[in-house]
């Protein structure tokens, strides 16, 4: 009985770690995306010095963190589904279509 409880606690801890790692990955991706988009814009804007670059670095990191907490782009959910507990042949649904309709993804295609 104790062994089963410890195994369940270990699975819950692993699942929480996967969820946290997925959110951090998405936050990093969004902040990197912001940085790259900012580099595509001609230099000169409001803060054209080194202090402005540091400000934008922290700003991009915060935007990434907030986006990941709010659901983000959906990367964290996909990572959780990929590395979460197995579904044993069940079909998962995802809303990747632009209309928001659910698309089935068979377990064997992952």
One DSSP character per residue, 3-68 reads HHHHHHHHHHHHHHHHHHHHHHHHHHHHHHHHHHHHHHSPTTSS--SHHHHHHHHHHHHHHHHHHH
Is 0.75 surpassed by the pTM of this model?
A: no
CA distance 76 to 24: 8
The mean pLDDT value of the chain amounts to 75
Q: What is the band of 97 on the pLDDT scale with cuts at 50, 70, 90?
A: very low
Name the DSSP class of 70: T
Instruction: Tell the burial category of 82 from Cβ atoms under 10 Å away from its Cβ (0-12, 13-18, 19+).
Output: exposed
Does 42 score more than 80 pLDDT? no
Q: What is the DSSP string of 82-99?
A: HHSS--TTPPEEE--STT
């Amino acid at each position: 009985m104790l062994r089963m409880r410890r195994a369940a606690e270990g699975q819950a801890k692993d699942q929480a770690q996967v969820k946290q790692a997925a959110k951090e990955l998405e936050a990093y991706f969004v902040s990197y995306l912001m940085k790259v988009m900012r580099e595509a814009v001609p230099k000169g804007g409001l803060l054209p010095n080194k202090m402005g670059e540091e400000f934008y670095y922290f700003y991009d990191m915060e935007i990434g963190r907030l986006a990941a907490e709010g659901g983000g782009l959906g990367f964290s959910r996909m990572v959780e589904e990929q590395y979460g507990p197995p579904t044993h042949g069940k079909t998962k649904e995802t809303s990747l279509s632009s209309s928001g309709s659910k698309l089935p993804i068979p377990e064997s295609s992952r």
